[in-house]
Amino acid sequence: MTKVKNRIRRLRFDNDEMTQEELANRAGCTRQTIIALEQGKYTPSISLAFQIARAFGVTLEEVFQYEET
Partner 1 sequence: MAPLQKRALYSLGIGVVWAIAIIVVFMAKGGVNAYTGDPGMRAILAALFIGGLIAYLAVLLTLRRKRGQVEATMDERDKVIMGRAPVVQLWAVFISLAIWSIALTEIYWDQGQIPVIFPYLILMSLFIVNVLSQSLGILIGYWRMGRND
Binding site for partner 1 (CB under 8 A): 1-2, 21, 24-25, 28-33, 36, 40-42, 44-45, 47-48
Nearer to partner 1, 11 or 34 (CB): 34
Closest approach of partner 1 to the CB of residue 57, in Å: 20
Closest approach of partner 1 to the CB of residue 10, in Å: 20
Radius of gyration of the chain measured on its C-alpha atoms: 11
47-50: which pairs have CB atoms within 8 A and are 24 or more residues apart? none
- Angle formed at CA 55 by CA 27 and CA 5, multiple of 5 degrees: 80
Residue 55 CB neighbour total at 10 angstroms:
21
Nearer to partner 1, 3 or 10 (CB): 3
